[in-house]
Amino acid sequence: MAVKVVAINRKAKHNYFLEDKYEAGMVLTGTEIKAIREGKVQFKDAYISFVKHEAFIKEMHISQYAQGNIFNHDETRIRKLLLNRSEIAKLEQKCKLSGYTVVPYRIYLKNGMAKLEIFLAKGKDLYDKRQSDKERTMKREIQKAMKNNY
């Protein structure tokens, strides 16, 4: 079961408390999967929305495939996510009632298929972000000190 990580949304950990993890497939066209295999994916403004009990990822940018011709895809089109009905219902309910949001975290290839890892997340306040940055800096300094001692 070879897994190749294509892209990671680094801002997600900075802006949100990531809680529950889900793996979703995506409905893609031929040139989209080829562009993903080349690593031409960007999550900058991507978000997940729910319409009629279906999940969609919007504003995820997949660059056009270089060898594609007139059949190339639209770069920021809306793409359907493939999740179980119960998972969609749970995510949709949490988003509506509890103030959670669903955040795309990373896209990877698993057995030749593109998968999207999404998290149920709660937004961080400014002081939470500062605290996270402080903890990360402390860990980095400890690792550096440990490395220099040996």
E strand map for the chain: 3-8, 16-26, 41-42, 47-51, 54-58, 61-62, 79-82, 101-110, 113-123
Name the average pLDDT for the chain.
89
Instruction: Give the Cα separation of 116 and 57 in Å (integer).
Output: 10
Please give the Cα distance from 43 to 150 (Å, whole number).
Answer: 40
CB 74 within 8 A of CB 59: no
Percent of the chain clearing pLDDT 90 (strictly above): 45
pLDDT tens for 88-145 read: 999 999 988 888 999 999 999 999 899 999 999 998 888 888 888 898 899 999 998 8
Q: Are strands 61-62 and 54-58 parallel, antiparallel or unpaired?
A: unpaired
Contact between 55 and 80 under an 8 Å Cβ cutoff? The reply is: yes
Structural domains of the chain in order of their starting residue, each with its CATH number = 3-125 (2.40.280.10)
| Tokens 């001692």 found at | 149
Residue 45's pLDDT band, with cuts at 50, 70 and 90, is: confident
User: What pLDDT shows up at residue 1?
Assistant: 66
CB neighbour list of residue 31: distance below 8 Å, 6 or more residues apart:
64, 65, 68, 71, 72, 73
pTM (predicted TM-score): 0.81
First to last CA, the chain: 37
